[in-house]
Every structure is written in structure tokens, then in C-alpha cells.
A and B are shown apart, each in its own frame.
Chain A
Amino acid sequence: MIVRILSGGQFRIDDEAATQLNQMDADLEAAVEAGDEAAFTDALTRLLAHVHAHGAPLPPDILESSDLILPHEDSSMDEVRKLLTDEGLIPG
């Protein structure tokens, strides 16, 4: 499975790591829904650390779209909300 960290490149992770990642992602989503900034930052930090620990960076000249896309490391909750609603955050 390919995971992209925005502003951080793409990584290939195995299924086991992906399953763990999905569990952690549930925390992130819950934090966003609850509007809990501290929980959000915490969940995001753990997610990114997990990808860095278990993922192998994809060579940059590989043209593959990602299965999962993670916000960049210092994203605010507000930014992530906009990402989810497809409101102009992605240019073009």
C-alpha cells in the first residue's frame, strides 16, 4: 500500500502496518469530529511517526497515486477539515 504524507513524499507500507495505521487514523478522525485540537495533534504525530517507522520511501520518479494521504506534520485541524471537504486547498 502506498501512503503519501503531504509535503513529505510517498511511502510503501505492508498490510500489517497499514492496519495499525487505520486504527490510529480512527483517533485522528474522532479528534477532528470532536474539535479537539490537542487530541488531533497527538494522533497526527503518532500517525506520521508510524509511517516513518514502517514505511519505505518511494523513489520520487515513480508515478503512482497513493491509497492513503496524510496531512503534513504541522497541519492545523482547520486545514485538515478543508482538505476533507475539497474546498480549494488543493490548487488547480
Chain B
Amino acid sequence: MKGTAARMGVMKRVSLVFKAKANRALDKMEDPRETLDYSYQRQLELLTKVRRGVADVATSRKRVELQMNQLQQQADKLQTQARKALGMGREDLAREALTRKSSAQTQLDELATQYAQLQAEEEKLTLASQRLQAKVDAFRTRKETIKATYTAAEAQTRINEAFSGISEEMGDVGMAIQRAEDKTAQMQARAGAIDELMASGALDDAVGGRRDDIQSELDMMSASSDVERELAMLKGEITATAPKQLEGSASNGSGQGSQAPQQPQQSEGPYAPPAPPQYAPPPPTEPVQQPEAAQQSQANGLPVADLPGLADEPQDGDRS
């Protein structure tokens, strides 16, 4: 035979822990009827809490779902990029895109596991909420019966039974809520981290490289032919107009201190000329005088211009 006192087993010990908890709560109450009402109040509070718990888990689950969609889009995009890169003969780029896709897929798989966990948690909590609701209803009925039928002294035993029955359920539900909260918190921390990674583009960094550099390189490749064509066009224009412009800008620019910064560009020749002809010609004195003249005419002119206008109105008014 086993020593039963020391070895009562896990199940029995856990049940004793629950009972001890219920008894401690009962001992605090002086009036048994007070116990009933107080306990009922707490049951209603717990019901509210467990329902909120269900809603919180659902919110968290939806967030994971959203992220899974985003990651799926990312994976699809990388797949398209890989195909495009391969079509352009860039196997290196295609390999890079596929590597990243695999990384996104890994994240996706992890999220899928978490999604399933949250879903299971939501179901458990929903069931717990339904069980608690049934027990709370039963308790309310029992409470009224006890109050109506028994004297305070007689009621004690019945109350203890009802109380320990419901308090075990409440302890169970309370732990379930706590677990769900912990899981949700973990999940949210992780979801937050993934959101940040997505926002910063660092998720693409998982295998090294800048954000979307695959796309930019692909874009660059298709754009480069256009660039070459335009470059050739520009070169054609420059060689056609360059000789005249060089002469003009060199003679005009030589004496001007105020336009000194432009001179090095002009004197460097072939690449600068297209722009200067329009800006270079003005003689040294004009740029200095023009601003002053403008300021003077503004300072004096505005009031003068306003005065006639103001003077006109009184004139109109004088007619009366």
C-alpha cells in the first residue's frame, strides 16, 4: 500500500487547493446571505470579464490574419519578381527573390500556427463563458430558494455547497482568462514586431539587402535602355550647339564677380553650355541695380498707389 497522506496524487491535491480557496473566502463572510449576494455579484463581474476576454482574443486573431495576408502578398510579389528576373536572364536576382520568398513563407507558417492557437483559445474561452453562464444562472435560482426557504442557520450548509460549486468554476474560468490574456499579449508583442519589420522594410532584410532592391534593380534594368536613348539624344544636341554657346558665355562671364560660381561650369566646356545663353548676357551693373530699384518702387509706390484709391472713395462719398 502507498502512503496516502504524502501521496494523494496531483488531481486530489489540486482539488484541495481549490476547496481551500473557497473555504477561505467563505470564512470571511459573517452573514451567510451576504455571501450569496456578494458571490453572485462577483460571478456577474467574471462573466463580463470572460466575454471581454473572448473579444480580445478574437481581435488578436484578426490581427494575425491581417498580417498573414500581408505576408502572403509579399511572398507572391517575390515570386513574380523571381520570374521576371529570370526572364531578363538575371538568375542571381531570381535566386535572391526566391530566398526572400522562402523567408516570408517561414514567417507565414509561424503565424499560421499562432493563428490556430488563438482560434483554439477563443473556442475554449467561449465554452468556458457558456459553462459559467449556466452555473451563474443555477446559482441565482439556488440563492433565491435558500433565501426564501431556510433560516440563516439552516442556510449555511446549502450556501457552502452552492458556493464551493460555483467558486471552483470561477477559479477555472479565471485561470482560463489569465492564460488567454498571456497568449494574446505574447501574440500582440510578436504582431507588433512584425508590423514594425514590415513598415521599416526590414523583413526583406532577413536575407540581407535593402528594401525592395530586387524591384528597384528590375526597374533599373528596364529603365536603363530608355536612359541610354535619352543620353544619346542629349549628346546629339550638345555637340550641335556647343561651339556657339561656349564663345558667348566665356566673353560675358569673364568680368562678373557676382556670377563667379557659374564660371567654373561654363569654362569646363562641353556639358555646361545648353543652359547659360539665356542667363549669362546681362552687363555687370544691372543685377545690382535692379533689386534696389524694385525695392524703392515698392516702398514708395505702394502707398502712392493706394492713396488715389482711398482718395476716390471719399470723393464718391462727398457727393451726398
B208-240 residues at the A interface, CB under 8 angstroms: none
CB contact under 8 A between A32 and B10, given known A62-B138, A65-B19, A90-B175: yes
CB contact under 8 A between A26 and B18, given known A63-B166, A68-B12, A92-B42: no
B1-36 residues at the A interface, CB under 8 angstroms: 2, 7, 9-15, 17-22, 25
Query: Contact at B165–A25, with CB atoms within 8 Å?
Result: no
Residue B115 interfacial (CB < 8 Å)? no
Residue A64 interfacial (CB < 8 Å)? yes
Query: Contact at B124–A60, with CB atoms within 8 Å?
Result: no
A-B contact pairs, 29 of them (CB 8 A): A4-B168, A7-B124, A7-B128, A7-B179, A9-B127, A22-B9, A22-B11, A25-B11, A29-B10, A32-B10, A60-B134, A61-B135, A63-B138, A63-B142, A63-B162, A63-B166, A65-B19, A65-B164, A68-B12, A69-B15, A69-B168, A70-B10, A84-B17, A90-B17, A90-B174, A91-B175, A92-B21, A92-B171, A92-B174
Residue B137 interfacial (CB < 8 Å)? yes
Q: Looking at the complex, which one of B15, B127, B137 makes contact with A68 (CB distance below 8 Å)?
A: B15
Query: From residue A23, how far is it (CB to closest CB) to chain B in Å?
Result: 9
Indicate the size class of the contact surface on chain B.
35 or more
Query: Contact at A63–B135, with CB atoms within 8 Å?
Result: yes
Number of contacting residues on A, CB 8 A? 35
Residue A56 interfacial (CB < 8 Å)? no
CB contact under 8 A between A80 and B10, given known A61-B137, A65-B165: yes
